[in-house]
Amino acid sequence: MFKNQPKGLFALALANTGERFGYYTMIAVFALFLRANFGLEAGTAGFIYSTFLMLVYFFPLIGGILADKFGFGKMVTTGIFVMFAGYLLLSVPLGSGNVALVAMLAALLLIGFGTGLFKGNLQVMVGDLYNDPLYAAKRDSGFSLFYMAINLGALFAPTAAIKIREWAITLGFDGNAAYHFSFAVACVSLIVSIGIYYAFRSWFKHVEGGHAKGEKAQVVDTLTPEQTKKRMVALFLVFAVVIFFWMSFHQNGLTLTYFANEFTERSASGLASMPFNVWNLVAVIIIVYALFSIFDKEASKRGKWIGVAVVALACAYLVWQYERLTGSVEISAPIFQHFNPFYVVALTPVSMAIFGALASKGKEPSAPRKIAYGMLVAAIAFGLMVFASIGLNTPDVQAAAREAGMPETLVSPYWLITVYLVLTFGELLLSPMGISFVSKVAPPKYKGMMMGMWFVATALGNFLVQVGGHLWGSIPLWVVWTVFLGVCVVSAIFMFAMMKKLEAATAE
C-alpha cells in the first residue's frame, strides 16, 4: 500500500495532517459553542456554521488562481500564517457581546482565506508528484493515502476538543470560555505543520511551481481546444453533483451533532462504551494494518511474524481496557465526530485492496462511476436515520420535555455509529476519487483554478448545510433525513445519466 509512492507524498500528507487536526478540533465544538456562548437558535447557528464552511471551501478558488500565477508553494506557506492569525484571534475569550461576535467573524474570515491558500494548492502539489511516469499508475492510491492522513488528524480532534475544554473548566474557567482552549489547539498544530513542510521540502520542491521575478510561468499544454472543452464540461458536471454530497455529508457537524446531543443516550457501559475511547479505535486501526502485513504476499516471514505480534498486543490491550471498565461512561455529542475519520483510516487499506484486485482484472470502476456509487451509499446512510427517527419527538417537543423534567425519547448511540460507517463508505468512493479526477482531467493551464473549483462546489454544498438547521425544530425528524436521502438519490441518477461524457473525458 505504501510501496512505490513518491516520498514527497508522505511529507505533504503529514503537513496536512497537522493543519487538519487543528481545524477539526475547532469544528468539533463550534456549532455547540455558537449556541452556548451567543444563545443562538439552531437555524442561526447553522447559518454561521455553514457560511464558515462555505468560506473554507470557496477561497481555494482564489488560492488556485493566485497559485497559477505565483506558485503553489508560496500560497501554501502564506496560508499557514494567515490561518494562524485567525485561530489565535478565535482563541481569545472575549465574552458574548458584540465585540466578541465581531472578533469571531473576523477570525472565521482569516481562517477561511488562509485555508483557501493552503488546502487546494497542497493537493495540486500532491497530484503533480504523479505526473512522473514512474508514479502515474499510483495516482488514485496516492490520493487515498493522502486522504487517510487528513483523517488521521481528524480522528483525535473530537477527543482533544472535549478533554481540553474539560481541563480548562477544572482550572476555573466557565463553560463558554473553556471552548477557546479547544480553538487554541489549532495554533499549535499549525506550528507543527509548517515545521514538517520546511523540514522535508527537498522531497517535493520540484512541484511547488512559481518562477523567477520578471519571468512568465511556462505551462505545457498539448490539449486541443475541443479536448479542453470536453474536460471542462466533465469537471463541471462532477462539481454539480458533489455540491449535494457535501450538503448532506456535512450534516455531521450540524444536525447529526444536534441529534447526538438531544436524541442519543448520554451514557454507555461495558462493551458498548469502548468505541468512545479514541485509543481503543487506534488499537483497532493497528490490528487492521497489521493483518494486511500478515497477508501481504510480498512481505517477508519476519515481517509477517511482527504483524502477528502486533495483532496479539493490540488485542491484549483491548481486553485489558475491557477488564478495567467500571460503571458507565458519559457520552458527549462532539465525540461522535471521531467515528468518521476512524472509519476512513481503518477502511482505506480495505478499499485500496478491493480496487487493486478489480484493477488487476481490468474491472475497476472509473472515478466518475465511483462518485455516483458514493451518492447512493450516502442515501442509504440517511435511510438509516429515517428508520432510527420514526417515533421520536420533534426537536421542539424534545426540548420542552427536557425543560419540564419529563421523559425524553432517546435512541442507542449505535445508530449514529452505524450511520457514520455507511457515510464513510460513500465518502471514500467520492472524495479522494474526485480530487484524483480533477488532478488528472484538469487542463494544465487551469489546474490550480480547477482544483479551486472543486472546493467551490464543496463550498456551495457547505452553505446548503444550513438547510438542516432550518428544518430542525417542529418538523418530524424522519422528514429532515428524507430531504437528504432524496437529494443523494437524485444526484446519483444524474451522475449515471452523464456517465458516457464523464468517462470519455477521463479516457482522453
DSSP 99-141: HHHHHHHHHHHHHHHHHHHHHHHHHHHHHHHTTSTTTGGGHHH
**Same domain for 381 and 313?**
no
For the chain, how many structural domains are there in total?
2
Kindly tell me if the per-residue pLDDT of 97 is higher than 70.
Answer: yes
**Same domain for 184 and 293?**
no
**Same domain for 94 and 197?**
yes
Kindly tell me if the per-residue pLDDT of 444 is higher than 90.
Answer: no
- For 104-156, the pLDDT digits (tens) are 999 999 999 999 899 888 988 998 898 888 888 888 788 888 888 888 888 88
The whole-number pLDDT of residue 213 equals 42
In a domain, 211, yes or no: no
Q: d(Cα 335, Cα 155) in Å, to the nearest integer? A: 10
**Same domain for 272 and 252?**
no
The whole-number pLDDT of residue 217 equals 47
Mean pLDDT of 334-363: 87
User: 292 near 248, Cβ under 8 Å?
Assistant: no
In a domain, 112, yes or no: yes
39 or 213: which leads in pLDDT: 39
Give per-residue burial for 126-141: e unless 16+ CB within 10 Å, then b.
bbbbbeeeebeebbbb
**Same domain for 316 and 340?**
no
In a domain, 207, yes or no: no
Mean pLDDT of 276-302: 90
User: How many other CB atoms are there within 10 angstroms of residue 47's CB atom?
Assistant: 18
What's 468's domain CATH number? 1.20.1250.20
Contacts of 199 (CB under 8 A, 6+ apart): 11
User: 126 near 143, Cβ under 8 Å?
Assistant: yes
- For 44-69, the pLDDT digits (tens) are 888 898 889 888 888 888 888 888 78
In a domain, 220, yes or no: no
Kindly tell me if the per-residue pLDDT of 465 is higher than 80.
Answer: yes
**Same domain for 249 and 360?**
yes
**Same domain for 19 and 112?**
yes
User: 477 near 259, Cβ under 8 Å?
Assistant: yes
In a domain, 326, yes or no: yes
Instruction: Name the residue among 454, 338, 429, 432 with its Cα closest to residue 147.
Output: 432
Domain stop point among 279, 311, 330:
330
- For 378-413, the pLDDT digits (tens) are 999 999 999 999 999 999 999 898 888 888 889 999
Q: d(Cα 295, Cα 308) in Å, to the nearest integer? A: 10
Q: In the structure, what pLDDT confidence band is assigned to residue 178 with cuts at 50, 70 and 90?
A: confident
**Same domain for 247 and 259?**
yes
Average pLDDT, the chain: 88
What length is written for the chain? 508
Mean pLDDT of 82-104: 91
**Same domain for 181 and 282?**
no
In a domain, 479, yes or no: yes
pLDDT-wise least confident of 135-144, 218-227, 234-243: 218-227
User: 432 near 143, Cβ under 8 Å?
Assistant: yes
- The residue with cell 455509529 is 417
Instruction: Name the residue among 434, 416, 449, 421 with its Cα closest to residue 491.
Output: 434
**Same domain for 317 and 342?**
no
Q: In the structure, what pLDDT confidence band is assigned to residue 1 with cuts at 50, 70 and 90?
A: low
Domain stop point among 313, 330, 347:
330
Mean pLDDT of 272-286: 94
Please give the residue range of the domain that contains residue 452: 7-202+226-266+331-507
C-alpha cell at 493: 441518477
The whole-number pLDDT of residue 508 equals 61
**Same domain for 26 and 140?**
yes
The whole-number pLDDT of residue 179 equals 85
Domain stop point among 293, 315, 330:
330
**Same domain for 355 and 339?**
yes
In a domain, 215, yes or no: no
